[in-house]
Amino acid sequence: MTNYITFFSVLALSGILYSIYYSNYVFVPKMKKLKMVQEFRYVSNLNSDLIAALKNYAAEFNAENQIFLHGLTFGSMISSLEKLREKSYTTDILKTLKSQETNKSILCNLLIDIRHQIEIHHEVKDSLSRIKRNTERSGLNYAAA
pLDDT in tens, 10-53: 888 888 888 888 777 777 778 888 898 999 999 999 999 999 99
60 occurs within a structural domain? yes
Is residue 64 in a domain?
yes
Q: Is residue 35 part of a domain?
A: yes
Closest CA to 54 of 71, 42, 66, 37: 66
- Return the amino acid letter for 74: F
What are the pLDDT digits (tens) for 47-71? 999 999 999 999 999 999 999 999 9
Q: Grade residue 8 by pLDDT with cuts at 50, 70 and 90.
A: confident
Domain count within the chain:
1
Residue 129 forms part of a structural domain = yes
| 46 within some domain | yes
User: What is this structure's pTM?
Assistant: 0.78
Q: In whole numbers, what is the pLDDT of the chain averaged over residues? A: 87
Which domain covers residue 54, as residue numbers?
29-138
Query: Confidence class of residue 140 from pLDDT cuts 50, 70 and 90?
Result: low
Q: What is the DSSP string of 77-106?
A: HHHHHHHHHHHHS-HHHHHHHH-SS--HHH
- Confirm whether 83 is domain-assigned: yes
Specify if 23 maps to a domain.
no
pLDDT recorded at residue 18: 84
As a dihedral over the C-alpha atoms of residue 70, residue 73, residue 78, residue 84, rounded to 10 degrees, the angle is -40
What would the pLDDT profile of 87-132 be if each residue is shown by its tens digit? 989 999 898 888 878 787 888 888 889 999 999 999 999 999 999 9
Q: Is residue 19 part of a domain?
A: no
User: What pLDDT sits at residue 145?
Assistant: 44
